[in-house]
Amino acid sequence: MMENAISLPKEQQEELANIRSNTSDIMHKVGYLHSEISERVALLEAKAEYGKLQRLMKDLENKEMDLDKKFEKI
């Protein structure tokens, strides 16, 4: 924006262009890291939920087996 308002020497324009380029590169890396962290957190949450559901399913199966045994005795 400032380039339009103020005419800078070529050397300063190149320096600003390099800074913009570096800033852009870093922002892309930041964006990637945000995405990677979000995906990894989602994966951990999914694994935790899966483990919890597996334990619940096993508990239900055990309770069903116990009830079935009790009814077989009757």
Does pLDDT of 33 surpass 50?
yes
Does pLDDT of 1 surpass 60?
no
**Is there a contact between 3 and 16 (Cβ–Cβ < 8 Å)?**
yes
pLDDT in tens, 40-63: 999 999 999 999 999 999 999 999
DSSP letters of the chain? Answer: -HHHHS---HHHHHHHHHHHHHHHHHHHHHHHHHHHHHHHHHHHHHHHHHHHHHHHHHHHHHHHHHHHHHHHH-
